[in-house]
Chains A and B, each alone.
Chain A
Amino acid sequence: MQIGTAKHSYQADEALLTTRPQRVWMALFAASLCIAPFVLDNYWLYLACLVAINVASATGLNILTGYTGLVSLGQAAFMAVGAYTVGWMQLNLGTPFLLNLVAGGIIAAAVGIVVGIPSLRVKGLYLAIATIAASFILHFIFVNWQSVTNGNSGLTLTPASFFGTPLTEYQQLYFVFVPITALMVLGAANLFRTRVGRAFIAIRDRDISAEVLGISLLRYKLMSFAISSFYAGVAGGMWAYFFRVVTPESFPFVYSIFFLAAIIVGGMGTILGGILGAVFMTLVPELLRFGIDWLTPVLPNAAAMLSPVRTIVFGLLIVGFLIFEPKGLAEIVQRSRRYFHLWPFKK
């Protein structure tokens, strides 16, 4: 609790970062993002790129599920749409890399709108199940639309080129992906300072009253699907440039569950939550790998255990957070902030 605020304008009151410590932390964070590529080794840069991709997609899902209350288990399928679009354009049109990413986002958004149509009729679990159905149908299309997707063998991409430089090193990709993701996250944060974001939250909290207050459910539910899958599409496009092979199995159903788990673990309906969740869920499997490596001298069979243990921990994280910390990591951060606000004066 602060004793007072000295703000002179509504603009200052409605800024994204309202207090000085927040701005300091953000500056530090931005600075470390800039320094990171020069100090991290290749493996950690690889992870950083993967985290950037996952943060972009999780933030998109958070807009749809966390803020609009429409549960989707199709985020990975939308990413796949973006990835295939990017791959196809690069192989067949040779268009520039940024244009491809935007096109990937737009095509994914268009697919997202179609998949979102059932949301006008059903909600909650039924909608989640409809998105499961949609992602299996999309998978079928990826396998069978040979002329575009090259079936099960998939598309193999040449490296993205940025002003003539091919982006092959993780360090180079980092410099492209991280700013894109940062822009997308900023966009999402901005959204909730305007009428569009308020409409989303209103639909989540009470959709029928929202309609009487002037919010068209048709328009805003589909809009939420569109943005969310746009984010997924761009993330999928980055994914395609990152791994440079796109097959129907690149974006399995469990990857959709991964994103839903990420926003649950991070905290639904907060921008910070989407970021924290994606970072956390991407890094935990890697930490497990270190743990298993460390166990190998003791347990000779440890390497074979890695995959099952990851699966178990993945499930445990979902269940554990839902039961013990339903508001996710973002709430833990808030709590520790409050604690330090009062720190030496209150136990």
Chain B
Amino acid sequence: MSDLLFFFEVTLAGLGSGALLSLTALAFVLIYKATRVINLAVGELLMLGGYLFFAFAAGLGLPAWAAIPLAIAGGGLVGAVVERGLIRPMLGESPIAVFMVTIGLGSILVGLVELVWGTDPRALPAFMGNAPIFIGEAYVSRKIAIAFAVAAVVIAVFLVLFRYWRGGVALRATATDQAAAYSCGINVPGVFSLAWVIGCGTAAGAGVLLGSIGGISPSMGVFGLSALVVVIVGGLDSVAGALVGGLVIGLIEAWAGTYLGGEYKLVTTFGLLLVALMIRPYGLFGTTEIERL
């Protein structure tokens, strides 16, 4: 019985980190959908979000309710600057070149953070409380539960916005056919900027959540790689794919980490990625690209 309870607890923790993965994956999907760019710097933006929160909350002593929006806005601002300064000049270049630009960007962000805050890991000021939560008999860390709830709400909001909000519709239209969207009067460059701002803001927000669970360090951007696996498995252009993929990967990582050992976490994830690529190259929910002679 206690084995089963333990399994249940591990599963809940897996769902919690899965929700964070989904949230980060959402940043990939938003940007990819609108601009067809895989932004490998999402992990580093997430890290930056954590550090911005640290700066506002611990450095300036702001309360959490002020520091969190500021961190998210900071991430969004970086997104806007990056889109205008680095991505737009690359329009029309090969996707690989743009991908490499984001890798370079990631390196710049890591260097800047190390320059300002140093390389040591730090803990974020607590703002969620510590009292554990019980579901039935199963124990869940309060932070993970809160992270799960926040991620779930944010994803739900995104799904609604995508469906009904004008900006969301414009984004979907741009994703389907840029030229057609242009000729319907949609401000395509505006949509690009919007996607980068929201995507990077989302990543920064995820960074605050992740940092408050496990602390922050300049190397926490690796989390972005797991989220990248999520979007490849789920489909790069699918919000639903990010949601489902995140939960699946979160669960598998939690189970592998607990029952096989911590070092199996990443290898299981990447093994899964390879299998997914071989079986369904464009993801579970992604759009298949058709090749013509």
Contacts and interface: CB of A to CB of B under 8 A. Distances in A.
A and B in contact, CB less than 8 Å: yes
Interface of A: 71, 117-118, 121-122, 124-126, 128-130, 132-134, 136-137, 140, 143-144, 208-209, 212, 257, 260-261, 264, 305, 307-319, 322-323, 326
Interface stretch (B91-99, B155-163, B204-212): B91-99
Question: Which secondary structure dominates chain A's binding surface?
Answer: helix
Interface residues of B, number: 41
Contacts, number: 126
B106 interface: yes
B115 A312 contact: yes
B115 A318 contact: no
A71 B96 contact: yes
A317 B228 contact: no
Interface in B18-61: 38
Given A125-B95, A319-B104, A140 B112 contact: no
Nearest to B293: A208
B32 to A, nearest CB: 10
B108 A315 contact: yes
Interface string B80-115: 000000100110010111011101111111111011
Contact of A122 (B95, B119, B281): B281
Contacts of A126: 232, 277, 281
Interface in B102-154: 103-112, 114-115, 119
A128 B266 contact: no
Contact of A323 (B89, B119, B273): B89
Contact of B114 (A117, A128, A307): A307
B114 to A, nearest CB: 4
B115 A118 contact: no
Interface centre among B114, B228, B264 (most CB of A within 10 A): B114
Given A118-B274, A128-B99, A130-B273, A308 B263 contact: no
A312 B266 contact: no
A264 B100 CA distance: 9
Contacts of A312: 107-108, 111-112, 115
Contact of A318 (B89, B107, B293): B107
Contacts of B228: 129, 132
Nearest to B96: A71
B270 A315 contact: no
Contact of B270 (A118, A136, A316, A322): A136
